[in-house]
Structure 1
């Protein structure tokens, strides 16, 4: 039985043509359900800007959740160095649309 004092949070902010999802804290197998619940609640037709700038830890559990939604997600950074390394090592960095910050990611959904 594992005991985790990890904190993971996801905040949704409706935007113009998309929803901003601000993730913060640590995302692993025990906490990634916080993000998965947001994905489920927003529905598959909703475009998402996922702000990862306040994520302090992320393993492949978060990567897997993002892969499931990659067609409707733009990652907003700056990406945590450790998570960017996971993307590089797995060769998956090219699968995601990414922007330097939330504003740039949001603009990718306009006109």
Structure 2
């Protein structure tokens, strides 16, 4: 399964996690590790999850996104891809997520 997870260097307490490819329960490990580390780091005041290159996401990724959201520090960097957007719409949670147009906009919120 084609995927990538990259954690960019923190800037002013903002941690950016770039993810791309397909994410399901079997392939979520690296993204879960990166997200959990961000939530547990008291120096991180904002977590930016760049989802622009997500090709597929199932309920496992949605659960991880909700976990990050509960930290009160999550901003999605979009635009949100159609397939991920449909998952957010079908589960009626899209409105819960703050979404910015790109990483730099998300950093500045």
Task: Give the TM-score band, short-chain normalised.
Answer: 0.7 to 0.9
Q: Does 1:27 align with 2:23?
A: yes
Larger Cα-atom Rg:
1
Any conservation in 2 of the 1:8–1:34 contact (CA below 8 Å)? no
C-alpha RMSD over aligned residues: 1.3
SS at match of 2:12: coil
Q: Structure 1 residue 105 and structure 2 residue 106: aligned? A: yes
Unpaired runs of 5+ in structure 2? none
Q: What are the residue-to-residue correspondences of 1:27-106 with 2, within 5 Å?
A: 27-44=23-40, 45=42, 46=44, 47-70=46-69, 71-106=72-107
Point out where structure 1 has 5 or more consecutive residues left out of the alignment. 1-5
Misfit runs of 4+, over 6 Å? none
TM-score (norm 2): 0.86
